[in-house]
């Protein structure tokens, strides 16, 4: 049984292409499209595969797009357990203007999950032969799904002894944190909403994250700072990790790649300081590639080795 399970409630097939120049009201000639599996947890599973680690991807799938999604995951040798739904899996569209490198991303809202389909997702998780060591919940909620569903998922996972890694936003983030997770990866905007303040800077963000830890809503917080890197926060540790300077071509999948690096580090016994650096290396490496492509392992290795030189001289003792 996979030690790592990912849950994606709003998966997608990402279709991407390029056009010589995007001009309104004109018929544009595009390059042949690429089709790739998409959605938070699914991208985490794909990124873990690039780190030579298997995980089990659980997600709802329906219609021809759902079939294509499963076929694409099979091609990438991703272990999967789809939950059949009546609706049709969504398709996102990404187009790059080749004249200036600008990227246009069109995200569709997703297919509503019927109450019985939501229950089937819960049943699928509960009926795994062995509880995973890590359950990664990543991505948005589809239309019609209340945040309470994530709370139920977290509650059930904790009862079975799984460590939950959470990467979502809005009411879903609030509901899941209320149950207490192992690790959360908010960005500054999401953290400011959790703290109930208009905005946060580096110092106040760490304080807000430590409040989450003291309140029992999570044991570890990794604040995503975008181009500035990330900040690891536990009850006793604050560790800022800079992002290496690279030529950025696309930010699609960077956050999911960071989560993959984090769960890989935790699963393989790296220290928390090493784990967050691996996460930053994976996220940064993903931005070096165009379109919806994730990272290349050699780029991760090179960036990670550079980031190891930023390890604090006397690491904190906040390993949870």
Residues recognised as catalytic: 256
Cβ atoms 270, 256 nearer than 8 A: no
H/E run at residue 37: strand 34-38
| Closest C-alpha among 114, 185, 120 to residue 153 | 120
The residue length of the chain stands at: 320
**Residue 302: helix, strand or coil by DSSP?**
helix
Q: Please give the Cα distance from 237 to 289 (Å, whole number).
A: 33
- Quick one: tokens of 213? 């830890």
End-to-end CA distance of the chain: 24
Q: What are phi and psi of 225, to 5 degrees?
A: -105, 15
Q: Output DSSP code: residue 291.
A: T
| Closest C-alpha among 187, 166, 17 to residue 91 | 17
- Quick one: tokens of 231? 């900040």
- Torsion sign, CA atoms 137, 173, 283, 304: negative
- Quick one: tokens of 298? 């050699």
| Closest C-alpha among 233, 192, 231 to residue 210 | 233
Question: Any alpha helices (H) in 127-225, and if so which ranges?
Answer: 148-159, 170-179, 188-195, 202-214
Q: Please give the Cα distance from 179 to 313 (Å, whole number).
A: 35
Q: Please give the Cα distance from 42 to 7 (Å, whole number).
A: 8
């Amino acid at each position: 049984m996979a030690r790592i399970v990912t849950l994606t409630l709003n998966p997608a097939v990402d279709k991407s292409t390029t056009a010589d120049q995007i001009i309104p009201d004109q018929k544009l000639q595009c390059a042949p499209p690429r089709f790739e599996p998409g959605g938070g947890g699914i991208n985490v599973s794909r990124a873990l595969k690039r780190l030579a680690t298997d995980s089990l991807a659980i997600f709802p799938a329906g219609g021809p797009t759902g079939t294509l999604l499963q076929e694409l995951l099979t091609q990438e040798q991703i272990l999967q357990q789809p939950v059949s739904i009546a609706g049709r899996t969504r398709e996102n569209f990404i187009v790059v203007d080749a004249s200036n490198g600008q990227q246009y991303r069109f995200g569709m809202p997703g297919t509503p999950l019927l109450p019985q389909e939501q229950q089937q997702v819960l049943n699928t998780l509960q009926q795994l032969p062995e509880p995973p060591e890590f359950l990664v919940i990543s991505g948005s909620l589809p239309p019609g799904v209340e945040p309470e569903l994530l709370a139920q998922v977290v509650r059930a996972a904790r009862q079975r002894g799984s460590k939950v890694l959470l990467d979502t936003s809005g009411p879903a983030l609030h509901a899941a944190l209320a149950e207490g997770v192992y690790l959360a990866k908010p960005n500054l905007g999401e953290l400011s909403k959790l703290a109930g303040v208009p905005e946060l800077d580096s110092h106040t963000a760490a304080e807000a994250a430590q409040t989450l830890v003291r309140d029992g809503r999570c044991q570890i917080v990794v604040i995503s700072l975008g181009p500035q890197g990330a900040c690891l926060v536990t009850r006793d540790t604050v560790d800022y990790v800079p992002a290496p300077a690279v030529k950025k071509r696309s930010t699609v999948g960077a956050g999911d790649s960071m989560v993959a690096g984090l769960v890989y580090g935790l699963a393989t016994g790296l220290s928390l300081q090493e784990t967050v650096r691996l996460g930053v290396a994976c996220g940064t490496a993903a931005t070096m590639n165009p379109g919806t492509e994730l990272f290349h392992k050699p780029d991760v290795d090179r960036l990670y080795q550079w980031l190891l030189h930023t390890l604090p001289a006397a690491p904190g003792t906040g390993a949870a």
